[in-house]
Chains A and B, each alone.
Chain A
Amino acid sequence: DTGVSQDPRHKITKRGQNVTFRCDPISEHNRLYWYRQTLGQGPEFLTYFQNEAQLEKSRLLSDRFSAERPKGSFSTLEIQRTEQGDSAMYLCASSSLSGPKSQETQYFGPGTRLLVL
Chain B
Amino acid sequence: DAKTTQPNSMESNEEEPVHLPCNHSTISGTDYIHWYRQLPSQGPEYVIHGLTSNVNNRMASLAIAEDRKSSTLILHRATLRDAAVYYCILRDGAGGTSYGKLTFGQGTILTVHP
Are A and B part of the same complex? Answer: yes
Q: Can you pick out 15 interface pairs between chain A and chain B where the beta carbons lie within 8 Å of each other? A: A33-B102, A42-B107, A55-B99, A56-B101, A58-B101, A93-B43, A93-B44, A95-B99, A99-B98, A101-B97, A102-B92, A106-B46, A106-B102, A110-B43, A111-B43
User: Interface 1/0s, chain B 83-96, versus A by CB < 8 A?
Assistant: 00101000111000
Having A43-B44, A43-B104, A93-B44, one finds 14 other A-B pairs with CB under 8 Å, namely A40-B106, A42-B107, A43-B102, A45-B101, A45-B103, A55-B99, A58-B101, A91-B43, A93-B43, A100-B93, A101-B99, A102-B93, A104-B100, A111-B43
Q: What DSSP secondary structure best describes chain A's contact surface? A: mixed
Q: Does B68 contact A (CB under 8 A)?
A: no
Q: Does B11 contact A (CB under 8 A)?
A: no
Q: Nearest residue in A to B94 (C-beta to C-beta)?
A: A102
Which residues from chain A contact B32 at a C-beta distance below 8 Å?
102-103
Most buried by A among B31, B42, B85: B42
Q: What DSSP secondary structure best describes chain B's contact surface? A: loop
Restricting to A80-108, which residues have a CB under 8 Å from any CB of B?
A: 91-93, 95, 97, 99-108
Q: Nearest residue in A to B101 (C-beta to C-beta)?
A: A45
Q: Nearest residue in B to A42 (C-beta to C-beta)?
A: B104
